[in-house]
Amino acid sequence: MRVILFSLWIFAGAAVLFAQQPAPVRAPSTASQRPPQTVQPQTYQPEQIQAGQIRFSSQCGFCHGRDAAGGETGPDLTRSVLVAQDLRGDKIGPMIRSGRQEKGMPAFQELAESDLNAIVAFVHDQKTKAESLGGGRRSVDVADLQTGNADAGKQYFNGAGGCAKCHSASGDLAGVGMRFQGLALLQRMLYPASGRPAPAPAKATATLPNGETVSGTVVSRDEFTVVIRDTSGANRNVSASEGKITIDDPLNAHFELLGKYTDTDMHNVHAYLQTLR
């Protein structure tokens, strides 16, 4: 997996506008090149685009920028060839569902079909805008992280947020507010796997056309193939089109949470985690 470096000044999430300040550490800009043209132009209902924008900013914006024009770890989707070739989600959909975990793109297996379609609508709309504008720079907005209420965050953690189903403030998360601070803590809370190997590798079970079942840990995965290390230690390539593959990733819950948090919840939980010292 690519090592992901988060600059302290780069941040976006459901709560916070994507922030970028001068001289960020980024790959050389492709902004001078024209984005690839959409192969089959598509239009979407404004309501669907709007719904997609909300979804996108909470689930994808952290990495791809709230406007889909690229973030610190995720590429500019308005310049993506895959997006240019997509027709109503036929390419983007499978990509979002499978992710490309080793490259830092999580799998969104549980995303509702309607949310996925709305996200696709938003991405195409952003691309259309980028094509007509020729691409503009994103604005700078520094996150105000310190607006949360720790007590409300504690309630959310133990209640509506469901965090306590998997975590304990005096157990695995004891001292988390000392190990990570500010944005680093928020980043950890939103994307525990970023910048390091997944703590607990995903497991997969595949049923091949000949009826054979292959199960083990996921070595790598993209929209075409899953490589599974089976119980004998051998790596097996299963193509997504030939096998029925079920993947159990302990971090999936985290990606799904992104769509649940309101801005306030997120700030509150962050404030609460800061008190775990």
Binding site for ligand HEC (CB under 6 A): 59-60, 62-64, 73-75, 77, 80-83, 92, 95-96, 100, 103-106, 108, 119, 157, 161-163, 165-167, 176, 188-189, 191-192, 194, 199-200, 250-251, 253-254, 257, 269, 273
CB of 39 to ligand HEC, least distance (A): 14
Do residues 84 and 78 lie in contact, with contact meaning Cβ atoms separated by under 8 Å? Answer: no
Nearer to ligand HEC, 98 or 238 (CB): 98
Nearer to ligand HEC, 18 or 214 (CB): 18
Do residues 172 and 269 lie in contact, with contact meaning Cβ atoms separated by under 8 Å? Answer: no
CB of 150 to ligand HEC, least distance (A): 12
3-state secondary structure of 174: coil
CB of 255 to ligand HEC, least distance (A): 7
- What the block records as the tokens of 219 is 């070595």
CB of 210 to ligand HEC, least distance (A): 31
- C-alpha distance across the termini of the chain, in Å: 30
Nearer to ligand HEC, 205 or 220 (CB): 220
CB of 250 to ligand HEC, least distance (A): 4
Give the whole-angstrom CA distance, residue 182 versus residue 271.
9
Nearer to ligand HEC, 18 or 191 (CB): 191
CA quadruple 137, 139, 140, 143: dihedral sign: negative
- Which residues have C-beta within 8 Å of that of residue 152, sequence separation ≥ 6? 264, 268, 272
- What the block records as the tokens of 67 is 């406007």
Q: SS3 letters for 93-107?
A: HHHHHHCEHHHCECC
Nearer to ligand HEC, 112 or 234 (CB): 112
Nearer to ligand HEC, 11 or 62 (CB): 62
Residue 215: phi and psi, rounded to 5, are -140, 155
CB of 209 to ligand HEC, least distance (A): 28
